[in-house]
Amino acid sequence: MPAKAVRELGWKADDKLIVETEGENVIVLTRKPEDFADAYAGKFGDLFGDHDEILAYLDEERRSWDPD
- For position 60, what pLDDT does the model report? 93
- For position 47, what pLDDT does the model report? 80
- In order of 38, 40, 52, 56, the CA distances from 64 in angstroms are 31, 29, 19, 13
User: What is the distance between the alpha carbons of residues 51 and 41, in angstroms, rounded to a whole number?
Assistant: 11
- For position 1, what pLDDT does the model report? 63
Q: Which one, of 24, 29, 25, 35, lies nearest residue 6 by Cα?
A: 29
Over residues 4-47, the pLDDT tens digits come to: 988 899 999 899 999 999 999 999 999 999 898 888 887 877 78
- In order of 14, 25, 39, the CA distances from 21 in angstroms are 22, 8, 22
Overall pTM > 0.75: no
